[in-house]
Amino acid sequence: MRTIFNMETKTKPCSTCKDILPLEDFYPHKRMRLGRQPNCKNCSRQWHRDRPDYIRLKNAQFKEKYPKYHLNWQRKSKYGLSPDDIEEIRVKQDRKCPGCKQDLLIVKECVDHDHSTGLVRGLLCDDCNVALGRLKDNSATLLNLAAYLKENYL
């Protein structure tokens, strides 16, 4: 007779190794009846280890289908910005970097934020973002450097 989920002990059998294990030993799966995968974590890991070429192919297909997935996920988790929010900022900035006025669709764009408060200030090109970071967001240093350039090179 087949063993099914035990309500009292909150255990279930693995469909591969047939061991009866606690639910914590199964990865979550929202479409399954118990909300857990049928295979335990160990069997699932082994299945993936045995098929590296298949996993590489699936990952490549996913990246091809959703090229900006990681970037969108990172911006959402780190700054709370959706792709629509990013587009709104782009439009507000006339699709240009506020520092060097380069088109943000041509250069690599970065989300600029205040490190002390975490609030997003806008979008910058990578070079301007790195420059602000190196200056530790210190406007006095930036103005001193601008004056230095004006005196000595312009």
**What tens digit of pLDDT does each residue of 24-75 get?**
999 999 998 888 999 999 999 999 999 999 999 999 999 999 999 999 999 9
* pLDDT at res. 1: 44
pLDDT tens for each residue of 89-147: 999 999 999 999 999 989 999 999 988 888 999 999 999 999 998 998 888 999 999 89
Q: From CA 115, how far away is CA 83, in angstroms rounded?
A: 22
The token duo for 129 is: 């973002």
In the chain, which ranges are continuous DSSP H helix? Answer: 41-49, 52-65, 69-79, 83-92, 126-134, 139-153
- The pair phi, psi for residue 118, each rounded to 5°, is 85, 0
Q: Is the pLDDT of residue 2 over 60?
A: no
Written as one letter, the residue type at 85 is D
In this prediction, residue 3 carries a pLDDT of 56
